Amino acid sequence: MNQSLSSLPQGVRLGVSPLSWANDVLEDLGANIPLETCLDDAAAIGYQGIELGRKFPRDAATLRPFLESRGLALASGWHSGELAERDVNAEMAAVAPHASLLRDLGSSVMVYGEVAMMTPGAPLDAPMSKRLVMPDDAVADYVMRLTEFSKRLRGQYGLRLAYHHHLMMVAETFDDVSALFDRAGSEVGLLLDTGHAVGAGFDYALLIERFGDRVAHIHLKDVRSRVMEPVRVADLSFNEGVRRGMFTVPGDGDVDFGPVADFARSGGYQGWLIVEAEQDPEAAPPRPAVARAFNHILDQLR
């Protein structure tokens, strides 16, 4: 093991998201950066794994040598789920290629982002105040579908679902997350995202305190408050906030990563810590940014 990783608690691994190199939604951000550069940088810095991104091959035979030649594991990958509007059988059919890829490359967790029941049109380009909220009378049925889907995902692919609370989606606020996880079966895991919690106006440590035993995956994202606050005041869109630099890598913003480091050190969490930042690689050159983040997180864990 890389000696610099010696401060990682047992059962905890440190990975990185490819979003620092190429944005999955705003495809002009990082359009000219090849996948090889992303993977080479991640491996050279010392990360143990990486999540999927839009430039990754989506068949195991092609992707495996890209990762294995650099000593990188496939940590996970985002699935755009629609259980807010479709049944479990339809969701299982939709997820099959993605879940098969994750399973075949050794992943044990799948990121689930709910993209149904969002603002019509281009929801990430709409003012953030226009987020659609799931009606109270729809939550129980949604949670039943989510729980059943999680059971089947685990049974068929060996993957634990990690539900991503996310700005502009049906689970944005702490109350949204609580409404789901107070009712969902234990099969439904939670993805804790530090940046999306702060962006939604709550302390991510509340998720650790309330749902620590459900946390299946962690995204370490920092927030530049000097950017986020004007974006919220002006009611700009999520994508406009990203372009302006409201998110960054750990250590470059205002988020305190002490509570999540304590959670990892306590033994309460076993899994991946993923450094992630949705930002313009022209404004924030990826390799130095994620190298600073790598050192920042390991310092927090010492």
Name, in order, each residue with C-beta under 8 angstroms of 209's C-beta and a sequence gap of 6 or more. none
pLDDT score of 3 more than 80:
no
Whether the predicted pLDDT of 2 surpasses 90? no
3-state DSSP call for residue 243? Answer: helix
Q: Mean of the pLDDT values across residues 83-94? A: 98
- Strand 222-223 relative to strand 247-248, pairing: antiparallel
Decide if 275 contacts 297 (C-beta within 8 A).
yes
- Say whether pLDDT at 212 is over 90: yes
Q: Which two tokens stand for residue 249?
A: 């890598």
Q: Which 8-state DSSP code applies to residue 72?
A: -
Give the DSSP H or E segment for 190.
strand 188-193
Spatial contact of 215 and 270, defined as CB atoms under 8 Å apart: no
| Closest alpha carbon to 22 in 64, 52, 43 | 52
pLDDT (0 to 100) of residue 46: 98
Q: For residue 192, which phi and psi values (nearest 5 degrees)?
A: -90, 120
pLDDT band, residue 267 (cuts 50/70/90): confident
- H-type alpha helices, 26-105: 35-45, 60-68, 88-104
Is the distance from CB of 53 to CB of 17 less than 8 angstroms?
yes
Q: How far are the Cα atoms of 101, 236, 278, 285 from residue 23, in angstroms, in the given order? A: 21, 19, 7, 13
For residue 158, the one-letter residue type is G
3-state secondary structure of 237: strand
**Tens digit of each residue's pLDDT (9 = 90 or more) over 144-162:** 999 999 999 999 999 999 9
Predicted confidence (pLDDT) at residue 1 exceeds the cutoff of 50: no
Q: What does the alpha-carbon distance between residue 166 and residue 267 come to, in Å, rounded to a whole number?
A: 26
Q: Give the rounded percent of residues in the chain with a pLDDT score beyond 70.
A: 99
The enclosing H or E element of 287 equals: helix 286-301
Taking residue 17's Cβ as centre, other Cβ atoms within 10 Å add up to 27
pLDDT tens, 174-184? 999 999 999 99
